[in-house]
């Protein structure tokens, strides 16, 4: 088994098969009092010690098969956490199982958890808790082998105040009054499909749900639930389309939970219960993860492109089935621009722009970008063109899913299977510059995508976009320009402008006069428009940009908006001041990354 640079756990010597969790959610102290029983399979003889991942956990006791076990906490690592080294009171042989029980408490600053006060919720009356474990944060909630190379089932019992509801990334398995405390309810969950620790998820809040399909409900605070049910009404059609492409959906239920806007990502593919924020407009990506990522999983975070590149490929194939091939091409072109932006932001020589980067001593949160998504998609799209088109290549993707379902894979294993599947076209595959694609930074060795897709979108199949004005001639802007464009096209129009040098201030003002972009509430449009305005040094846009950066917490929007304002000299200090004012209520990971982006440490930010 290969090693995982992001985990201390000894998964070469033993692997977890099942977790049994008892969680007591304490909103007053902002901690979870917990017990986890890990059923561990031993992989070697004379086995008597194992290491689990933890981060900021207060470990109270450890036992093995009911007997007390000794444990020590190793040195704390900045992002990997603290190894929990356990010595068993007996030896085991290869093939035997042991139940290791750890009793512990989480920290109020656990990186997987955000605790919201009632004021931070839509209902304003009850507190709220949610988790986000990807990539390496599960260890701050559960002592476990926190590596995507290890897959296990889980059962959980969660005690919460009776006014609240708990849901998890699992099938709901009933509820009862907490036998220890009649003012609480214990919610029970079972996840019978083996999955990696990063997909364990929990939410506790004043939740309601509505049925949106034969295997789907939407959950949220009651203030959002009917709107959410309407927005995600296409879920079953998308699930069926995905099943037609990728094979049966194995997770039973497919529910969607709409979180408060501080959730750091647009969506998260937690099994049985996709997490979404109000800024996530389409669910096809998260549905696709049910096959690529959740069923076939990257073995370490260095192979994250296997999760995300295939998911983007499948998401766009769903778009192809439900809309058209042109729509797929259009989305692919948008993705190419996102890739160019990430390469520009990181720098084209930065090894983190490799499709398969080394994450030795690299915090996965620092490495995260569009690269695994869009360089991954570009490779698959390139292979599709070389090997016979979308139907032929989707056949490979489906077969890859069947081959590696319920396991975790490396890029090398994926490539070997590609060569096996296309054994009659090995000469074609040998012409691909694999080293350039996988292990070389910068844009991929692939030029046709940009031009082909650009031509398709700018001419013929979609209305002509307004050309960015370079001189003082502003008569090119007409109110009718945007009228005939879909919201997807407005997004791409603004993305093109963002790739140019900043527009003169007169031009963005004229755009506002003509198009009234300030009034657009679609977050993908608003985000790009406000960036464009701040880049053009339009002072009036600064408060709107900072408001968007703090009203919601999706890192894709919040981080660049803070950075744009920070880079506007006159408002540099204002960016710092607003960040300091909001930091305490931000998600811990978002707050940490914005602090790095704005080059502030804890001391500076709290003293402002």
Ligand X SMILES: CC/C=C\C/C=C\C[C@@H](O)/C=C/C=C/C=C\[C@@H](O)CCCC(=O)O
554 annotated as ligand-binding: yes
The answer to whether residue 304 forms part of the interface with ligand X (CB under 6 A) is yes
- 326: Cβ contacts below 8 Å, ≥ 6 apart: 456, 461, 462
Cβ–Cβ under 8 Å, residues 33 and 26: yes
Q: Report helix, strand or coil for 448.
A: helix
Question: How far apart, in whole angstroms, are the C-alpha atoms of residue 289 and residue 588?
Answer: 25
Binding-site size, Zn ion (CB under 5 A): 2
478 burial level (CB within 10 Å; 0-12, 13-18, 19+): exposed
Which residue's CB is nearer to Zn ion, number 156 or number 397?
A: 397
Least separation in angstroms between residue 162's CB and ligand X is 32
Question: How far apart, in whole angstroms, are the C-alpha atoms of residue 418 and residue 399?
Answer: 10
Q: Which does 301 bind (CB under 5 to 8 A by kind): Zn ion, ligand X, none?
A: ligand X
205 annotated as ligand-binding: no
Which residue's CB is nearer to ligand X, number 24 or number 559?
A: 559
213 annotated as ligand-binding: no
Q: What is the DSSP string of 521-563?
A: --HHHHHHHHHHHHHTT-TTHHHHHHHHHHH---HHHHHHHHH
CA angle at residue 373 from 371 to 376, to 5 degrees?
85
Cβ–Cβ under 8 Å, residues 411 and 438: yes
Q: Which residues pair with 203 in a beta bridge?
A: 130, 167
Which residue's CB is nearer to ligand X, number 196 or number 205?
A: 196
Least separation in angstroms between residue 366's CB and ligand X is 8
Q: Which does 409 bind (CB under 5 to 8 A by kind): ligand X, Zn ion, none?
A: none
Q: What is the DSSP letter of 422?
A: T
Question: How far apart, in whole angstroms, are the C-alpha atoms of residue 596 and residue 79?
Answer: 14
Please pick, from the candidates 116, 141, 367, 394, the single residue that binds ligand X as defined by CB under 6 A: 367
Q: Which does 304 bind (CB under 5 to 8 A by kind): Zn ion, ligand X, none?
A: ligand X
The answer to whether residue 592 forms part of the interface with ligand X (CB under 6 A) is no
Cβ–Cβ under 8 Å, residues 342 and 371: yes
317 annotated as ligand-binding: no
Residues 132-151 binding ligand X (CB under 6 A) are: 134-135
Q: What is the DSSP string of 477-515?
A: --THHHHTS-HHHHHHHHHHHHHSSPPPHHHHHHHHHHH
Cβ–Cβ under 8 Å, residues 86 and 51: yes
238 annotated as ligand-binding: no
133 annotated as ligand-binding: yes
Helix (H), strand (E) at residue 106: none
Nearest residue to ligand X, scored by beta-carbon proximity = 266
Question: How far apart, in whole angstroms, are the C-alpha atoms of residue 25 and residue 6?
Answer: 28
472 annotated as ligand-binding: no
599 burial level (CB within 10 Å; 0-12, 13-18, 19+): exposed
Largest Cα–Cα distance in the chain?
A: 82
Which residue's CB is nearer to ligand X, number 251 or number 527?
A: 527
Residues 249-288 binding ligand X (CB under 6 A) are: 265-266, 268
Least separation in angstroms between residue 511's CB and Zn ion is 32
Residues 287-316 binding Zn ion (CB under 5 A) are: 308, 311
Please pick, from the candidates 83, 357, 376, 592, the single residue that binds ligand X as defined by CB under 6 A: 357
Least separation in angstroms between residue 457's CB and ligand X is 21
Candidates 167, 370, 128, 142; CA nearest to 262 is 128
Q: Using alpha carbons, list the distances in angstroms from residue 548 to 223, 488, 518, 556.
A: 21, 20, 12, 12
CA angle at residue 438 from 432 to 439, to 5 degrees?
120
268 annotated as ligand-binding: yes
Please pick, from the candidates 104, 115, 301, 313, the single residue that binds ligand X as defined by CB under 6 A: 301
537 annotated as ligand-binding: no
Which residue's CB is nearer to ligand X, number 255 or number 365?
A: 365
Least separation in angstroms between residue 545's CB and Zn ion is 26
Least separation in angstroms between residue 533's CB and ligand X is 22
553 annotated as ligand-binding: no
Residues 524-553 binding ligand X (CB under 6 A) are: none
Which residue's CB is nearer to Zn ion, number 127 or number 376?
A: 376
Please pick, from the candidates 556, 580, 585, 596, the single residue that binds ligand X as defined by CB under 6 A: 556
Cβ–Cβ under 8 Å, residues 218 and 210: yes
Q: Which does 210 bind (CB under 5 to 8 A by kind): ligand X, Zn ion, none?
A: none
Least separation in angstroms between residue 363's CB and ligand X is 8
Which residue's CB is nearer to Zn ion, number 111 or number 311?
A: 311
Binding-site size, ligand X (CB under 6 A): 15
191 annotated as ligand-binding: no
The answer to whether residue 372 forms part of the interface with ligand X (CB under 6 A) is yes
- The 10 Å CB-count burial string (b at 16+, else e) for 180-195 is eeeebbbbbbbbebbb
Which residue's CB is nearer to ligand X, number 350 or number 450?
A: 350
Residues 534-573 binding Zn ion (CB under 5 A) are: none
Cβ–Cβ under 8 Å, residues 376 and 310: yes
Least separation in angstroms between residue 132's CB and ligand X is 7
Candidates 599, 542, 608, 558; CA nearest to 580 is 608
Catalytic residues: 286, 373
Could you tell me which residues are annotated as the binding site? Answer: 132-134, 264-269, 285, 289, 308, 554-556
Chain residues binding ligand X by CB under 6 A are: 134-135, 265-266, 268, 301, 304, 357, 364-365, 367-368, 372, 554, 556
Could you tell me which residues are annotated as the binding site for Zn(2+)? Answer: 285, 289, 308
Chain residues binding Zn ion by CB under 5 A are: 308, 311
Could you tell me which residues are annotated as the binding site for a peptide? Answer: 132-134, 264-269, 554-556
């Amino acid at each position: 088994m290969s090693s995982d640079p992001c985990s201390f756990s000894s998964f070469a010597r033993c692997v977890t098969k099942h977790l049994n969790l008892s969680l007591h959610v304490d909103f007053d102290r902002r901690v979870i009092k917990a017990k986890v029983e890990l059923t561990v399979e031993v992989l070697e003889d004379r086995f008597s010690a194992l290491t689990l991942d933890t981060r900021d956990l207060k470990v109270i006791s450890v036992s093995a098969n009911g007997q007390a076990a000794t444990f020590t906490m190793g040195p704390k690592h900045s992002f990997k956490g603290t190894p929990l080294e356990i010595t068993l009171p007996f030896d085991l042989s290869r093939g035997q199982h042991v139940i290791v029980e750890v009793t512990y408490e989480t920290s109020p600053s656990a990186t997987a958890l955000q605790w919201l006060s009632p004021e931070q919720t839509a209902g304003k009356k009850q507190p709220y808790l949610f988790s986000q474990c990807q990539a390496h944060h599960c260890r701050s909630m559960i002592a476990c082998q926190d590596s995507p190379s290890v897959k296990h089932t889980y059962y959980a019992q969660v005690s919460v105040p009776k006014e609240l509801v708990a849901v998890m990334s699992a099938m709901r398995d009933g509820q009862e009054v907490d036998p220890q405390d009649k003012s609480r309810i214990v919610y029970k969950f079972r996840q019978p499909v083996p999955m990696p620790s990063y997909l364990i998820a929990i939410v506790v809040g004043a939740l309601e749900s509505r049925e949106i399909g034969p295997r789907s409900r939407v959950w949220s605070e009651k203030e959002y639930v009917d709107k959410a049910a309407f927005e995600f009404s296409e879920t079953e059609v998308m699930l069926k389309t995905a099943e037609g492409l990728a094979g049966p959906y194995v997770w039973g239920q497919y529910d969607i939970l709409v979180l408060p806007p501080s959730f750091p990502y647009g969506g998260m593919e937690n099994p049985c219960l996709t997490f979404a924020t109000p800024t996530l407009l389409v669910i096809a990506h998260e549905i696709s993860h049910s096959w690529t990522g959740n069923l076939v999983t990257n073995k370490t975070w260095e192979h994250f492109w296997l999760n995300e590149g295939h998911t983007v490929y499948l998401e766009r194939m769903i778009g192809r089935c439900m809309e058209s091939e042109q729509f797929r091409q259009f989305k692919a072109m948008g993705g190419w621009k996102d890739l160019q932006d990430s390469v520009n932001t990181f720098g084209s020589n930065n090894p983190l722009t490799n499709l398969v980067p080394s994450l030795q001593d690299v915090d996965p949160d620092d490495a995260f970008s569009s690269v695994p998504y869009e360089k991954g998609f570009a490779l698959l799209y390139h292979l599709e063109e070389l090997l016979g088109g979308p139907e032929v290549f989707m056949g490979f993707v489906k077969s890859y899913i069947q081959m590696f379902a319920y396991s975790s894979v490396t890029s090398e294993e994926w490539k070997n299977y590609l060569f096996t599947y296309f054994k009659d076209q090995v000469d074609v595959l040998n012409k691909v510059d694999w080293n350039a694609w996988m292990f070389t930074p910068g844009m991929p060795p692939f030029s046709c995508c940009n031009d082909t897709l650009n031509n398709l979108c700018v001419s013929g199949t979609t209305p002509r976009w307004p050309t960015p004005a370079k001189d003082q001639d502003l008569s090119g802007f007409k109110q009718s320009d945007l009228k005939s464009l879909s919201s997807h096209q407005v997004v791409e129009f603004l993305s093109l402008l963002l790739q140019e040098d900043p527009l003169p201030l007169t031009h963005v003002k004229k755009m506002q006069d003509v198009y009234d972009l300030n009034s657009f509430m679609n977050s993908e449009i608003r985000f790009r428009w406000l960036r464009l305005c701040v880049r053009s040094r339009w002072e009036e846009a600064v408060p709107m940009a900072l408001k968007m950066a703090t009203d919601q917490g999706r890192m894709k929007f919040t981080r660049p908006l803070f950075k744009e304002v920070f880079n506007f000299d006159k408002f540099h200090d204002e960016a710092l001041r607003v960040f300091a004012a909001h930091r305490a209520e931000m998600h811990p990971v978002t707050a940490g990354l914005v602090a790095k982006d704005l080059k502030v440490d804890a001391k500076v930010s709290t003293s402002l």
